[in-house]
């Protein structure tokens, strides 16, 4: 038994009038045979970003802006403040003497420090100095304010799980009753308690599901990667990669964003790999060619690039390279959705 197009359309119209729809008209879109990301591979050159960032510094103060940030918008997702389908990325500028006022929000944030001496962020009553290449965490719902106490403009990459939290409609935000939060602990306190391969006798997690260490210094990360590279041949797909871990449980440092650093010795080329998580990458050091999908990007230091989910990626180091990466992998893993495919070398 079949019906005419007109009969079907008439049926669909009557369904629509009662807030229903035929599954068979949309099933293929709901259940594709594999992910097809709406996001595009993309590359932001720091050399292009920096002059505009400094120009924004002449335009308004950090306090006025609350956060003076240039959002890195995926060209296929314009207007949505997304670098990938689920991750937000931006470049934040603080000028000497400025404060980005204290607030807190349920989205988690990470920082990857790009340039400038004297950048400070405070988290949960403790300050940390952010140096180039440091990976710094603002846990969900932790008060945080930023400042620049040296004589340089300070810039860093912000990564937030904003699109994910928006999707879940779980976002809260609150302003502190002062510009800066009260400082209750000396700088280095968290690192001493949790970051010396030791933890308190009765470990308590001050930030719930997020690591109690909120600055993973580049000096340590880099030294570990260099030593690891000397100890064994790089993995064909991952080169020499180490992930930022929560010392309390060994898991990812944050509940909604995974972060790691990949080191490729000069001349090393990775075999293609793809995974369901979408990556935001920032070249800490070196010169790297990134092949993402059909495109090839020549990354210089501090450049940012994105690899959408389930898109082949491969890298070639022109010089010794250190690539900071973050993604929504931890979410995929927790939900039992994470997959990867490793291509032939």
Binding footprint of ligand GTQ on the chain (CB under 6 A):
67, 69, 90, 92, 105, 109, 144, 158, 160
**In the complex, least distance from residue 158 CB atom to ligand GTQ, rounded to whole angstroms:** 3
Comparing every residue's Cβ against ligand GTQ, the nearest one is: 158
Nearer to ligand GTQ, 69 or 331 (CB): 69
Number of Cβ within a 10 Å radius of residue 340: 13
Nearer to ligand GTQ, 103 or 243 (CB): 103
**In the complex, least distance from residue 217 CB atom to ligand GTQ, rounded to whole angstroms:** 19
**In the complex, least distance from residue 155 CB atom to ligand GTQ, rounded to whole angstroms:** 12
Nearer to ligand GTQ, 109 or 299 (CB): 109
**In the complex, least distance from residue 121 CB atom to ligand GTQ, rounded to whole angstroms:** 8
**In the complex, least distance from residue 114 CB atom to ligand GTQ, rounded to whole angstroms:** 13
Nearer to ligand GTQ, 148 or 239 (CB): 148
Cα three-residue angle 283-215-81, rounded to 5 degrees: 55
What is the DSSP secondary structure assignment for residue 304, as one 8-state letter? Answer: E
Tell me phi and psi for residue 128, to 5 degrees: -135, 145
Cα three-residue angle 262-267-270, rounded to 5 degrees: 50
Residue pair 175/246 in contact (Cβ under 8 Å)? The answer is no
Nearer to ligand GTQ, 42 or 105 (CB): 105
Q: How far apart are CA 217 and CA 27, in angstroms?
A: 48
Nearest to 302 by CA among 328, 321, 327: 321
Q: How far apart are CA 52 and CA 30, in angstroms?
A: 40
Q: How far apart are CA 182 and CA 102, in angstroms?
A: 10
Nearer to ligand GTQ, 142 or 281 (CB): 142
**In the complex, least distance from residue 110 CB atom to ligand GTQ, rounded to whole angstroms:** 10
């Amino acid at each position: 038994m079949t019906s005419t197009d007109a009969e079907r359309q008439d049926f669909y119209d009557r369904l629509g009038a009662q807030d229903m729809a035929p599954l068979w008209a949309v099933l293929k879109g709901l259940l594709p045979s594999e992910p097809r990301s709406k996001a595009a591979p993309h590359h932001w050159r720091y050399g292009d970003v920096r002059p505009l960032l400094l120009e924004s510094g002449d335009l308004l103060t950090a306090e006025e802006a609350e956060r003076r940030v240039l959002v890195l918008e995926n060209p296929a997702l314009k207007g949505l403040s997304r670098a990938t389908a689920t991750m937000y990325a931006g470049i934040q500028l603080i000028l000497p003497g400025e404060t980005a006022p204290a607030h807190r929000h349920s989205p988690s944030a990470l920082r990857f420090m790009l340039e400038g001496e004297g950048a400070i962020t405070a988290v949960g009553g403790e300050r940390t100095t952010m140096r180039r290449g440091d990976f710094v965490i603002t846990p969900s719902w932790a008060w945080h304010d930023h400042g620049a106490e040296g004589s340089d403009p300070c810039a860093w990459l912000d990564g937030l799980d904003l699109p994910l939290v928006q999707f879940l409609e779980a976002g809260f935000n609150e302003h502190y009753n002062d510009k800066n939060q009260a400082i209750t602990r000396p700088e280095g306190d968290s690192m001493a308690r949790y970051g010396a391969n030791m933890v308190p006798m009765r470990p308590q997690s001050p930030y719930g599901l997020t690591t109690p260490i909120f600055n993973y210094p580049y000096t340590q990360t880099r030294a570990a990667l260099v030593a690891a590279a000397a100890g064994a041949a790089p993995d064909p797909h991952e080169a020499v990669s180490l992930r930022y871990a929560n010392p309390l449980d060994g898991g990812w440092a944050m509940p909604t964003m995974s972060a790691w650093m990949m080191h490729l010795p000069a001349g090393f080329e990775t075999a293609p790999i793809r995974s369901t998580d979408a990556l935001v990458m920032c070249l800490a050091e070196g010169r790297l060619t990134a092949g993402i999908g059909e495109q090839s990007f020549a990354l210089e230091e501090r450049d940012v690039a994105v690899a959408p989910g389930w898109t082949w990626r491969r890298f070639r180091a022109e010089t010794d390279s250190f690539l900071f990466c973050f993604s929504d992998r931890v979410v995929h893993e927790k939900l039992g959705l994470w997959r990867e495919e490793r291509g032939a070398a």
